[in-house]
Structure 1
Amino acid sequence: MQSPDFTLTRNRLGKLVLTFADGTQHEGVVPVRAFPISAAEDGLGLMSTDGRELVWVPRLATLPAPTREMIEAELASREFMPEIEKIVGVSTYATPSVWTVKTDRGQTDLVLRGEEDIRRLTGNTLLISDSHGIHYLIRDQFALDKPSRKILDRFL
């Protein structure tokens, strides 16, 4: 494992601080995945507060364990994308409608404003945005149970 030419620490406020080998520091850096769903471990940028890429990390696994763990902790606190395992029911087949879904984080209700809030990503993967801006992932629409697929088909 190659040692990167930077170090990552947290300041007293808990924000990430990126320090290059020459001593240059950037406070408040934010890790951003290039492909958060299809290739979560490949391609990650450490971004400055003004949105500039400071460091490109081709593979998260190549970083030393402490740095990798710090980045993963930061990503976990920012990324919230429950995965839908089952569609329990919908209030109506017209939009807006309230969906009751079982996710990997428990059962919840989401409000679907319109069919355009269901986006096909790659293959059988769907991304559903609710009225609060929360994104829900359906990794494989055909892996859902038959009643869930039937409900979903009415909106696609």
Structure 2
Amino acid sequence: MMSEKAHFLLERNAFGRLRFTDARGQVCEDAVPVRAFPIAAPDQGIALMSPAGRELAWLDDLADLPPPLRQLIEEELAGREFMPEIQRIRQVSSYATPCTWKVETDRGATTLMLKSEEDIRRLSHCTLLIADAHGVHFLIRDLQQLDRTSRRLLDHFL
């Protein structure tokens, strides 16, 4: 799909990976979209990168792209990024760490192991990033949107 504004072609190759072609016809196989601000502004500031880490193109806002090109980039980002959003904390095994949390996320129910309180990072007044013992990062986008029980359980760790 050629972007009128960006002057490049982006398509899937035979292996399902992104092929980037710039306005001069130079081709880069296995291009990778990378968000500059994945939590604060997920649809703004997207770099298309070569496998060697060289920036091929900068996209200010996904909304400015034609729908087929935007969908291609969003599909690729979704395949690379895995950050479930916690919607409810059902149970914690202990208020001391390490402990096991049973949570509901936007991707279903799961269990995570919290090694220490330091694995809960405050990104803003209402946004938290929680790293579990296996390196999976869970996002709480807005503390105020959690139910009362979830906030009460979480308060023990903050």
Q: Normalised by the size of structure 2, how large is the TM-score?
A: 0.94
- CA displacement at 1:11 relative to structure 2: 1.1
For the aligned residue pairs, the C-alpha RMSD in angstroms reads 1.3
Deviation digits for residues 67-119 of structure 1, max 9, x if unmatched?
11110110111111111111101111111111000112211100111111111
Picking from 120, 123, 137, the partner of 1:121 is 123
Hey, what does 1:150 align to over in structure 2? Answer: 152
SS at the partner of 1:28? strand
Distance in 1 (alpha carbons) for counterparts of 2:125 and 2:156: 19
Deviation digits for residues 2-24 of structure 1, max 9, x if unmatched?
43210001111111110011110
Show structure 2 runs of 5+ residues with no match.
none
Hey, what does 2:10 align to over in structure 1? Answer: 8
Hey, what does 1:22 align to over in structure 2? Answer: 24
Hey, what does 2:136 align to over in structure 1? Answer: 134
Aligned 1:78-93 pairs, distance under 5 A = 78-93=80-95
Distance in 1 (alpha carbons) for counterparts of 2:20 and 2:61: 18
Hey, what does 2:38 align to over in structure 1? Answer: 36
2:135 counterpart letter in structure 1:
G
Distance in 2 (alpha carbons) for counterparts of 1:73 and 1:143: 27
Hey, what does 2:103 align to over in structure 1? Answer: 101
Of all paired residues, the percent bearing the same amino acid is 57
Hey, what does 2:55 align to over in structure 1? Answer: 53
Show structure 1 runs of 5+ residues with no match.
none
- CA displacement at 1:27 relative to structure 2: 0.8
- CA displacement at 1:143 relative to structure 2: 2.1
Aligned residues: 156
Distance in 1 (alpha carbons) for counterparts of 2:53 and 2:109: 35
1:118 counterpart letter in structure 2:
I
SS at the partner of 2:63? helix
Q: Normalised by the size of structure 1, how large is the TM-score?
A: 0.95
Picking from 75, 78, 98, the partner of 1:76 is 78
